[in-house]
Chain A
């Protein structure tokens, strides 16, 4: 366990060295937050409620989603694929550790850094300019933080599999693009799933993608409270386990391929 803790600490520290990238990212996420907020304001000029959201919910959702972008890190995480491509993955296979747990630990360290450094500033700026909603109950905050950690885990489990495809495909960015499109459309990042037509929304709500954005946002907005929130966390945890298990299975297949066919 100690090893994975140390790896997570390094995962966190690794990103602290890129300060300019952090600042540029905060700026971009905040600007897009403003654009999305004005679209929401225009929408709520015409109506007072969409899918159970009022205007304050919609603005809060907007800046939460912008703040959580780098926690989920849906676009452009190729750390594993790059080592597969270069062959450096072989050095990791030499090591006496669990390969998936190693990368999970590293990515959770990264996600924590991004949650703090890239998540809080856009939300605070949004809060200063627009009327957003903050939960009062400390329990809701706790549930929200747990939900973010689970969102990061689900996101890692999916990205890990997309990256592993590099063992079979010369151009891993193809599946990456497909996955990014699914993530953006079905996670509640582009538009809340609550805004979807009812039938479609009900189906999408069962898929793992909503664990990335919709679930933590719903907990924050207290659309899920009490047992509902507990159920939402279980939903995320369940998908996290299923997807991590699928990743292990895929890793075992990749390893077999490498072991039999060579790198």
Chain B
């Protein structure tokens, strides 16, 4: 049963800007209106209890989609059904049944202790007393909030605040949780803790999660399915494992040699770039391990330093995009 259904969704913004090459006072003041298609015909469905990674480069239309799913924005075309409701017409009803966390925004009251924010949310969402107490107790334990429940939010560390934000978004037992970069700016330990919590939440409570992120680790740990959008269109919708094997399996070993030289020839990798003594070797997970490559390079040249680059989401998106364009060209 689909809990979210999106069909041919579109959103066009009218952006006014100065005319290009305008001259004179009037020309400079006169503005033209340009139609920008932020979301350009997206369709997908999310089943109850699914955890879906929603990714794409900045400006791809991710936040615009989420705003339409929550009812903040009215679509210019297409339809959205969330829990069988049209969010833009039934914004308040939808709001009572969803939770939203923006990594870069806060929904907590800055000057008040965390516990006070929770108490206010209890009244905003009219959470029954018992349910509220049980939820606060459970999240306090799971996210280890006990030490700072009485601390004003402005004094919390980012990691502590994010744990507070997650609790705040979940107190009213939402059926859907929208997460927009929930681990941004967090250190490795804090990230791991939040991912652990989200995975468990999905299992224990069956909350449907739509996760927007730039961190491939979030997706790998949490989502089995991933939606990739770019330029307002869906360019991939499917298995995370498959896409990782196809595009994400490639890593880059960057080596600094003692002296500049010709591209090193090692089995299982190919040199994609040379810049003086520095060389970039691309290799696939299945063809070689980083350790074997380092050993092979060291056997051929004097090695000073090295780093390994994991593919970034932007990279994968770009490669999917190129791959699709190539595929379209070959079938045309």
Give A residues with C-beta under 8 Å from B: 2-3, 6-7, 10, 13-14, 17, 86-88, 90-91, 93-97, 258-263
Contact A96-B13, Cβ < 8 Å, known A6-B119, A88-B106, A90-B72: no
- Interface locus among B95-103, B241-249, B296-304: B95-103
Most chain B CB atoms below 10 A, which of A13, A261, A262: A262
Complex: A259 Cα to B89 Cα, angstroms: 11
Do A91 and B109 have beta carbons less than 8 Å apart?
no
- The reply on B212 being an interface residue by CB < 8 A is no
Give B residues with C-beta under 8 Å from A: 11, 13-14, 38, 64, 67, 70, 72-74, 88, 92, 95-96, 98, 100, 102, 105-107, 109, 111-112, 116, 119-120, 123-126, 152
Looking at chain A's contact residues, is the secondary structure mostly helix, strand, loop, or mixed?
A: helix
Do A10 and B95 have beta carbons less than 8 Å apart?
no
Do B112 and A13 have beta carbons less than 8 Å apart?
yes
Q: List 14 A-B contacts (CB under 8 A).
A: A3-B123, A10-B109, A14-B109, A14-B112, A17-B152, A87-B105, A88-B105, A90-B102, A90-B105, A91-B106, A96-B92, A96-B95, A260-B74, A262-B13
Looking at chain B's contact residues, is the secondary structure mostly helix, strand, loop, or mixed?
A: mixed
Do B111 and A14 have beta carbons less than 8 Å apart?
yes
Complex: A117 Cα to B84 Cα, angstroms: 51
Contact A91-B95, Cβ < 8 Å, known A10-B116, A258-B72, A259-B88: no
Query: For residue A259, which residues in chain B have a CB less than 8 angstroms away from its CB?
Result: 72-74, 88
In the complex formed, the residue of B with least CB distance to A88 is B105
Query: For residue A258, which residues in chain B have a CB less than 8 angstroms away from its CB?
Result: 72-73
In the complex formed, the residue of B with least CB distance to A93 is B72
Complex: A2 Cα to B106 Cα, angstroms: 24
Complex: A108 Cα to B263 Cα, angstroms: 72
User: Knowing that A10-B109, A86-B105, A261-B13 are A-B contacts, what are 19 other residue pairs whose CB atoms are under 8 Å apart, sorted by A's residue number?
Assistant: A3-B126, A7-B123, A10-B112, A10-B116, A10-B120, A13-B112, A88-B107, A90-B72, A91-B102, A94-B70, A94-B95, A96-B92, A96-B125, A97-B124, A258-B72, A259-B73, A262-B38, A262-B64, A262-B67
